[in-house]
Amino acid sequence: MSFDERKKSRVTLLDVARHANVSRATASLVLRKSPLVGSETRSRVEQAMRDLGYVYNIGAARLRVERSQIIGAIVPNLTNPFFAELLSGIEEVIGETGKVVLLANSGDKVERQATLLQRMREHGVDGVILCPAADTPPALSEEIADWGMPVVQVLRHISFDMDYVGADYAAGMRQAVDYLASLGHEKIAFAAHGPVQSAYQERVDGFRDAMLSKALDPGILIHFPAQLGEIASATHLLFDQATRPTAVICFNHLVALGLSAGLHDCGLTIGRDLSLIGFDDVADEEAIRPKLTSVSTGPVTIGEMAARLLLERIANPDLPPRRVVNDTALHVRESCGRPM
Amino acid sequence: MSFDERKKSRVTLLDVARHANVSRATASLVLRKSPLVGSETRSRVEQAMRDLGYVYNIGAARLRVERSQIIGAIVPNLTNPFFAELLSGIEEVIGETGKVVLLANSGDKVERQATLLQRMREHGVDGVILCPAADTPPALSEEIADWGMPVVQVLRHISFDMDYVGADYAAGMRQAVDYLASLGHEKIAFAAHGPVQSAYQERVDGFRDAMLSKALDPGILIHFPAQLGEIASATHLLFDQATRPTAVICFNHLVALGLSAGLHDCGLTIGRDLSLIGFDDVADEEAIRPKLTSVSTGPVTIGEMAARLLLERIANPDLPPRRVVNDTALHVRESCGRPM
């Protein structure tokens, strides 16, 4: 069928709306399965679609007109600069399409996340990039599928039935452990932080596997508090262990920043008295002295990848679910030395 | 008029919609002056309003039903943790109302800001908290007034015809200068950064006035680059001046963080070789060593105040425009000493 033929034969949403005696906006809400439309109106519009032979997934031509031009992004914690960098990657890609990104903070709370998803759904956002809150039930992916709302999971996953973009956290842990082992460290601690979710589990498991592969004891796992100031004042936890570590791998940027300050307060020189490796390598780490050796997970790149996957998912809802995992890289600077 | 009488006499938007043969959603868009409604439909709905005597600003009863339950927030730079703290204050207040906050990043670009405002307007957000991009023309406030969209300016202002919440930047500069002068400093530099906008101008003017009131030369004003890493490597600018300063007041958190790292790289000890005062006092400053003496502008409090003003503006669109300025406070820590 040529473009012209298709054009002539195509029943538009406006035709449906007129037939059902509703506004085009209302017909569009029915298409998007919006809960804002009452059941009587919904039935009338659906009947009109059947009467006129309106094809729901008519492809690009339809997509051009049905969109709200808004992409939602939901993250668990805006005060971690990691998420600001992730967002800049998302905006870089989405900005080229004329759409805008609206960001919301779930505070890592499942109920708040549910409200945000509901609000975005009511407003017919084109799609959502979601870093799922800790304790999100995997069944959320089925609910989202029922809604027909395109969603890409980022950094954390609850189900591989939805697209996912993250980093190879386990490989990052291996790079950190291998580097420290090459300097002669055997007593390496993992400084953890935050609630359990997939990215947490993959880092902890990655640390354990990397240590075991070097025949080292993976038992020094210390959990640090959530707030930056509290991390610094909990630095002594590193020295309260049965085995005193000579090197520490941090869960993320916040832990590295807190321990960097806390070790200074203990009168220790990082890189000489204790080796420290960061994780994430966000721009703020540039201001840590001594300069921090860190595993880069590439938040900007992950944001770009997630945005591209979401645009593809919007254009082609029938694609099978995909998993994209960004490579990590160890950036060696000044915070590690040989064990004393 | 009693509540019951008012209830009986009130013509609802649904009545208007039925009379005009449009959906309630369309009638609501007309009320909000949405550009999504064609002129023919708009006229029909407006005629129906006149026919039925529908009262536009009917107050709280109407407000309960007309709202999208979304508050927009537009900031110029998400990678500055100042804005994450501002947002947490906004969310604290808005969260209690059942509404959600959707955040957007203008990148300090006027065109991008226009697109974001337009998109928020199309979706009938209840109101917007706006930190205007640098170079925003003051006429934007008239345009926003024409739209009938409740907007509160935060941190920066383009016109006092719209509500504004900020900090007393001039008082903060005076606190910093007075403290350094009390330690014996006479050669005090101002380390500026970023584009000119009202908060920039108020800080620069505040610094100048405070210096002049102490009969000190306000001439050491140095402009540092935008990126954190570039600030650190531009630290030498402090020593390229005709008069070498013994103390530096930073424009904001980013400048303090960059100079803190850069002075370390120069082999200087902050608080002994050079005194440094930060501005904003965000949580990330807790990790700077030596601990940074800083002027707190209270981003969380400003966010809370802006949210409260916006909710009042939404409930009562006819309030005269208001200006709220938060007090600043100098937090003395370890980064200042007597001049060498």
Q: Is the pLDDT at A9 greater than 60, yes or no? A: no
Q: Is the pLDDT at B25 greater than 90, yes or no? A: no
Determine the pLDDT at residue B11. Answer: 74
Nearest to B92 by CA among A76, A87, A113, A107: A107
Determine the pLDDT at residue B60. Answer: 39
Closest chain B C-alpha to A186 CA, distance in angstroms: 28
CB contact under 8 Å between A102 and B101, yes or no, is: no
Give residue-wise pLDDT tens across range A244-264: 999 999 999 999 999 999 999
Give residue-wise pLDDT tens across range B167-219: 999 999 999 999 999 999 999 999 999 999 999 999 999 999 999 999 999 99
Selected residue of B106, B263, B286 to mutate for chain A interface (largest A Cβ count, 10 A): B286
Between these two residues, B18 and B110, which has the higher pLDDT value?
B110
Distance, CA of A128 to CA of A125 (rounded, Å): 7
Give residue-wise pLDDT tens across range A146-174: 889 999 999 999 999 999 999 999 999 99
Closest chain B C-alpha to A148 CA, distance in angstroms: 20
Q: Is the pLDDT at B165 greater than 80, yes or no? A: yes
Q: Is the pLDDT at B87 greater than 90, yes or no? A: yes
How far does CA A262 lie from the centroid of its chain?
Answer: 29
Give residue-wise pLDDT tens across range A18-38: 899 888 878 888 877 777 788
Split at pLDDT 50, 70, 90, the class of B124 is confident
Q: Give percent above pLDDT 70 in chain A.
A: 94
Mean pLDDT, range B289-294, rounded to an integer? 94
Give residue-wise pLDDT tens across range B55-81: 654 333 334 445 788 999 999 998 888
Question: Is the separation of the CB atoms in B233 and B224 below 8 Å?
Answer: no
Tallying the residues shown for chain B, one arrives at 340
A192 forms beta bridges with A223
The answer to whether residue B330 neighbours chain A at the CB level (below 8 Å) is: no
Give the H or E element holding residue A9: helix A3-9
Helix (H, G, I), strand (E, B) or coil at A273: coil
- Residue A190 DSSP code: E
Q: Over the range A180-208, which residues count as b (16 or more CB within 10 Å of their CB) and which as e?
A: bbeeebbbbbbbbbbeebbbbebbbebbb
Helix (H, G, I), strand (E, B) or coil at A298: coil
- E-strand ranges in chain A read 70-75, 100-105, 127-130, 151-154, 163-167, 188-193, 221-224, 247-250, 275-280, 293-296, 323-326, 329-331
Mean pLDDT, range A104-131, rounded to an integer? 94
Q: Is the pLDDT at A3 greater than 50, yes or no? A: no
Q: Is the pLDDT at A336 greater than 70, yes or no? A: yes
Between these two residues, A54 and B221, which has the higher pLDDT value?
B221
Distance, CA of B303 to CA of B269 (rounded, Å): 35
CB contact under 8 Å between A103 and B100, yes or no, is: no
Mean pLDDT, range A313-321, rounded to an integer? 93
Nearest to A252 by CA among A305, A222, A297: A297
Closest chain A C-alpha to B141 CA, distance in angstroms: 22
What would the two tokens of residue B56 be? 């536009």
Burial class of residue A1, CB neighbours in 10 A (0-12, 13-18, 19+):
exposed
B228 vs A36, A84, A283: nearest CB: A283
**Which value does ipTM take for this structure?**
0.80
Q: Is the pLDDT at A1 greater than 70, yes or no? A: no
Q: Is the pLDDT at A283 greater than 90, yes or no? A: no
CB contact under 8 Å between B100 and A119, yes or no, is: yes
Question: Is the pTM here over 0.95, yes or no?
Answer: no
Q: Is the pLDDT at A61 greater than 70, yes or no? A: no
* Domains of chain A: residue spans and CATH: 13-62 (1.10.260.40), 70-167+299-325 (3.40.50.2300), 169-297 (3.40.50.2300)
Closest chain A C-alpha to B212 CA, distance in angstroms: 33
Determine the pLDDT at residue B52. Answer: 84
Q: Is the pLDDT at A186 greater than 90, yes or no? A: yes
Between these two residues, A61 and B216, which has the higher pLDDT value?
B216
Contacts of B326 (CB under 8 A, 6+ apart): B165, B166, B167, B168, B297, B298, B301, B302, B305
Distance, CA of B257 to CA of A288 (rounded, Å): 9
Split at pLDDT 50, 70, 90, the class of A10 is low
Q: What angle do CA B257, B259, B263 make, to 5 degrees?
A: 125
Quick count: other Cβ atoms within 10 Å of Cβ B79? 19
Mean pLDDT, range B76-93, rounded to an integer? 93
SS (H, E, C) chain B: CCHHHHHHHCCCHHHHHHHHCCCHHHHHHHHCCCCCCCHHHHHHHHHHHHHHCCCCCCCHHHHHHHCCCEEEEEECCCCCHHHHHHHHHHHHHHHCCCCEEEEEECCCCHHHHHHHHHHHHHCCCCEEEECCCCCCCCCHHHHHHHHCCCEEEECCCCCCCCEEEEECHHHHHHHHHHHHHHCCCCCEEEEEECCCCHHHHHHHHHHHHHHHHCCCCCCCEEEECCCHHHHHHCHHHHHCCCCCCCEEEECCHHHHHHHHHHHHHCCCCECCCEEEEEEECCHHHHHCCCCCEEEECCHHHHHHHHHHHHHHHHHCCCCCCCEEEECCEEECCCCCCCCC
For chain B, what is the mean pLDDT?
90
The answer to whether residue B69 neighbours chain A at the CB level (below 8 Å) is: yes
Selected residue of A103, A106, A259 to mutate for chain B interface (largest B Cβ count, 10 A): A103
Give residue-wise pLDDT tens across range A193-207: 999 999 999 999 999
Determine the pLDDT at residue B66. Answer: 55
Measured between CA atoms, the residue of chain B closest to residue A101 is B104
Determine the pLDDT at residue A62. Answer: 37
